[in-house]
Structure 1
Amino acid sequence: MNNAAVVSAAFTSLLVVLPLLELVSLAIVPWITDQRECFGVSVPPAAHGDQRVRRYKTLFSLMVTAFGMVCVAVSLLLALAYGRAAGFWALIASVAALPIVGFALQQAFRRKIMAIKASSRWIVVDERRAALLAEQDTPKPISLAWNLLHLVPVGITIAVGYASYAAMPARIAIHENAAGAIDGWAGKSHGLLWLAPGVQILLAVVFVVVHAVIVASKRPIDPDKPAETAYAYGLFTRVWSMYLVSCGMILISVLGLTLQAAVIGAVRLDAVGAVALVAAVAAVAGAVVLAVFYGQNGSKVFGRDTSSQSGSSDDDRFWKLGVFYVNRNDHAAIVPKRFGVGWTLNFGRPVIWLAILVFVLVVIMVPVLAMRQ
């Protein structure tokens, strides 16, 4: 099978696999969330045994799945009828539309859960805190120092580039459009050798930042089961931090070396796209597996307990729309999500808004400075 056939097969697979993985990761959210929450509402664990709640969770999953399948079918039909470019843009639209539809459904079912909570008079204690004494026995995220391993593939990529510079062609393809045609070229230069390491360093920074978020996150400990929930959350953060480092090493190595091989003329540029698609699918699939196995905050570690009729705390007033955390009195800048797997920001902290401002400025200025060169 030639390069063009490989890329075509990878693209067709992407049209199916990536939206499917996204819809699966969204459809399972109500089933892997912390048992003290449901659609972003504070509830007692017993709420998850309520038939009405289970029906809403099932409806959410079915509706997300149905919409996702329609997106997959439309993307494939457009690709077959109008070519790769049409399928590509349909895929982009589908990937963007799924979370929007998921958010709309979450809001609809959140209102239903709040109504059930009020009518059923579920007891959720307002303010309770717990202190964990045997903290040394609780699992923790692996050290940020592990991210220094990312320097190894970066160094190898730089070495490969300079060792192959003499054999580089005089004209290098540097850009490919949505239809798969090369539309950007550059002359041979030492500067091109730093394109792949630059991408690797950017990816490494992203993985380090996400790892730091895990390390700095607030621990959600249940006062009724402090040791159990602390251990489960600790294991949850440890596994995810290990996954980030290992996944980062693989992605940075494979993508960086493939891109460098394209720069020095060893492989076609479209091979980079094929490798990137496969790597992205593999990374998302791994994340979905971890989410299913451990649940949000490690809620799956010890299994579900739907016997408790009261919850540990009711902070619904701090969760706007059930997903945005705004609490000026909470010193934690990073907290676990209520709907989904992972972490979110405390928008009540000024430092968060400062960080967002800096990020927006960087995103705006980098392309502007690049265009001036």
Structure 2
Amino acid sequence: MTLTIFLFIAIIIAGIQTTIPFLVNRSIIFGVTIPENYLRNETLLSYKKKYSLFVSVFSLILLTSYLLWALFQPVTQEQIVLIGTFLEFAIILFSFALYFYFHGKTMRLKKINHWTENLKNIKVADLSARAHDEMLPWQVYLLPMIITVGVMIYTTIQYDLLPQQIPTHWGVNGEPDAFTEKTMLSVLLLPLTLLIMQLMFLGLHVGTKKSGIKVNSESTEVSRQRQLTLRKYSSWFMFFISMLLTMLISYFQLQTIHPTIFSATAMFLVPLGFLVLILVSAIVFAVKVGLSDKKTAPQIQEKIVDSNEDSYWKGGLFYFNKNDPSIFVEKRFGIGWTINFANPLGYLIVFLPLIAIILFTFLAK
């Protein structure tokens, strides 16, 4: 079953990495802004196809080798987990190496062909877009927090029932495999970590909602639709992940307090179900957003080009723009959001909770 889980995860990762060039913003190719009139350039299309072909072939070789190794060699579960994790990272690293290769080739192609010469740079501000914004209200993110606070209160009340050794980590089979001595901090560490993560999700939602809706001046309506779709589904996706994490960690906490409340089968199936739901929701999110600007042909504005922000993107992945008040902006490679690294609020929202989790974990030992 462990082999099946890791193969399933690796296949999903390989599928997403293979299709990324066809799901990102239509006017961005390998992190480079391309004028609408050149999006169907044969060379650019060949770059996309080659990237997808190389990633898919590489992934197929790795997955096949991993499967044959696990089936025909005497291997332990720990070895399957270790090699499976390495395999997943190998696919991601290989895809990023290919991305940087084609990013450089796309930059050179754009420069050599002078695609932006004799075109007027225009930046569009769509003041009406927010009226159609369907992001969830921030208050819904309080629901999982209320559940977590309830679990923390219940844990405190049941403190005497807890064992002297508190689980701090669970393996792929749902069984605890790491423990620490019982203290008030150690018994509350799991829900406290969850609460910090929920606060981070709330911060990500608020920061995203306050960020600008970037509209392409060459294809205003199509790009506007993508931005609204991204905002809507990312808010639902983050809330869904927050609720799933709340249910999973609350389940583990209750299992610690009442070891016999759930069967051994449930201890295996619940984490597995959590993993499947996470991966399926990620696929749905990627497809919904990725195809939102591909369904309708844009009405291209002639003799103009969207304001070129390539200089603000380092390697097409990291956004630094002090003049942009947005905390988060749409990724140029991948589906979702990335930080405006020139805005310190992004660091606080993302890294402060992570530091707090590490600190509490250290103190609980």
Q: Of residues 81, 85, 88 in structure 2, which corresponds to 1:92?
A: 85
1:285 is matched with: 280
Q: Of residues 313, 320, 323 in structure 2, which corresponds to 1:319?
A: 313
Residue 17 of structure 1: how far off its partner (Å): 1.0
Equivalences for residues 1-373 of structure 1 within 5 A: 9=1, 11-80=2-71, 81-123=74-116, 127-135=121-129, 137-154=131-148, 157=151, 175=169, 183-184=177-178, 194-266=188-260, 267=262, 272=267, 274-295=269-290, 298-300=292-294, 302-305=295-298, 311-352=305-346, 358=352, 361-362=355-356, 365-371=359-365
Residue 120 of structure 1: how far off its partner (Å): 3.0
Residue 147 of structure 1: how far off its partner (Å): 0.4
Residue 133 of structure 1: how far off its partner (Å): 4.0
How many residue pairs end up in the alignment?
Answer: 360
CA spacing shift, 1:94–1:273, aligned 2, 3 Å: farther
Q: CA-to-partner distance for each residue in 1:219-251, whole Å, 9 max, x for gaps?
A: 211224445533431232112212321342233
% of aligned pairs identical? 22
CA spacing shift, 1:330–1:177, aligned 2, 3 Å: closer
- Relative to the length of structure 2, the TM-score reads 0.82
Q: CA-to-partner distance for each residue in 1:10-67, whole Å, 9 max, x for gaps?
A: x232211111111112111110111211000110123331222112111111222222
Verify the 8 A CA contact 1:262 1:269 in the aligned structure 2: no
Deviates more, 1:197-206 or 1:311-320: 197-206
Q: CA-to-partner distance for each residue in 1:249-308, whole Å, 9 max, x for gaps?
A: 233224422442244112368954653343133212212222122218x424x5354966
1:3 is matched with: none
Amino acid at match of 2:114: R
Residue 217 of structure 1: how far off its partner (Å): 2.7
Distance 1:87 1:327 in 2: 43
Residue 117 of structure 1: how far off its partner (Å): 1.6
- Relative to the length of structure 1, the TM-score reads 0.80
Residue 71 of structure 1: how far off its partner (Å): 3.4
Identify unmatched segments of 5+ residues in structure 2. Answer: none
Residue 338 of structure 1: how far off its partner (Å): 1.0
CA spacing shift, 1:109–1:155, aligned 2, 3 Å: same
Deviates more, 1:240-249 or 1:55-64: 240-249
Verify the 8 A CA contact 2:217 2:305 in the aligned structure 1: no
CA spacing shift, 1:269–1:163, aligned 2, 3 Å: farther
Amino acid at match of 1:30: P
CA spacing shift, 1:181–1:78, aligned 2, 3 Å: farther
CA spacing shift, 1:259–1:96, aligned 2, 3 Å: farther
CA spacing shift, 1:353–1:265, aligned 2, 3 Å: closer
Identify unmatched segments of 5+ residues in structure 1. Answer: 1-8
Residue 359 of structure 1: how far off its partner (Å): 6.0
Amino acid at match of 1:14: I
Amino acid at match of 1:119: I
Deviates more, 1:128-137 or 1:145-154: 128-137
